Structure 1
Amino acid sequence: MEKFTPGDLVKMGLGAMLIAKEKAEELIDEAVKQGEVSKDEADKMLAKLKKEAEESTKEAQKTLKSEIHSALKEFGLATKEDITALKREITALKKALESKES
């Protein structure tokens, strides 16, 4: 069985969403051509579809970030926040050492 990284899964999900969006746009355009919906209704449907896609994308990014953060913790790797905190501590220690040397 092939293993996928969280990034792969997000890319696949986004790809599927893009395909679904394109298909929905085609169906809406066809409905307009056949007179089933007005151009105004179609524009509203497309705007709603776009908004939902953007929300789904943001949620997927949030989930991916959370999963990556959990994986880093699980493997004992330093996060960006950990490194930033260490840099602050080093700066504070340097200042303390400099003041003792003066």
Structure 2
Amino acid sequence: MFIRIVKMSFQEDKIPVFLEHFQTVKEKIRHYPGNNFLELYRDKQQPNIFFTYSVWNEETDLENYRQSELFKSVWANTKPFFNDKPQAWSVDKLESLP
């Protein structure tokens, strides 16, 4: 199991469109095979910056998602709203404290 964190910076006027679109696809992403968890965060200091935090069974599950029509559609609808290049990290959880 591993975690994928994606940082996205949006044009201010496109944020409502992004959030509306996210509402329509979040369940599909969350229930994509191999995905166990999905959250969306918004930076407190820079409200045009968002992060997705997702948990995947295997790296191949994430790669399958990234090659899927769902991802291609999500990315095609999101990418035009960016005002900076997105950044992504794949990390392993070492510890979790309740």
> TM above 0.5, one fold?
no
> Which structure has more helix as a fraction of its residues?
1
Greater RCO (Cα-Cα under 8 Å, separation 6 or more): 2
**TM-score, normalization: structure 1?**
0.27
**TM-score, normalization: structure 2?**
0.27
> Which structure has more strand as a fraction of its residues?
2
